[in-house]
Amino acid sequence: MIVVLLNVYLAILFILVKTKLVPWNLFWKVSPVLVFLLLLFGLFVPMNWGAPQGPALVVRYAVSIVPDVAGEVLDVPVEPNTPLKAGDVLFRIDPAPYESQANALAAQLKLQETRLAQMTHLQTTGTGRSFDVEQRQAEVDQLKAQLDGAKWNLDKTVVRAPADGYVTNLALRKGARVANLPLTPVMAFIDTSETMIAVEIPQIDARYVEPGQKVELTFKFMPGHVYTGKVETILQAIASGQTQTSGTAVVPKAIQSAPFVVRVKLDDEAFATRLPAGSTGDAAIFTEHVKEAHVIRRVLLRQIAILNYVNPF
In this predicted model, what pLDDT tens digit does every residue of 116-140 receive, in sequence order? 888 888 878 877 788 778 888 899 9
Domain boundaries, the chain: 1-50, 51-60+194-240+256-313, 62-191
Instruction: Pick 178 or 34 by higher pLDDT.
Output: 178
- With 0-12 / 13-18 / 19 or more C-beta atoms within 10 angstroms meaning exposed / middle / buried, residue 52 is buried
Q: Give the tens place of pLDDT for each residue, 10-28.
A: 777 667 777 877 787 776 7
C-alpha distances out from residue 47 to 2, 102, 212, 226, 305, Å? 12, 69, 19, 19, 19
> Looking at domain 62-191, which of 1.10.3720.10, 1.10.630.10, 3.30.70.1230, 2.40.50.100 is its CATH number?
2.40.50.100
Nearest residue to 213 (alpha-carbon basis) of 50, 43, 54: 50
pLDDT of residue 87 exceeding 80: yes
- Lowest average pLDDT, out of 30-44, 228-242, 294-308, goes to 30-44
SS (H, E, C) 98-143: HHHHHHHHHHHHHHHHHHHHHHHHHHHCCCCCHHHHHHHHHHHHHH
Domain 51-60+194-240+256-313 has CATH 3.40.710.10: no
Handedness of CA 264, 265, 271, 273 (dihedral sign): positive
pLDDT of residue 4 exceeding 70: no
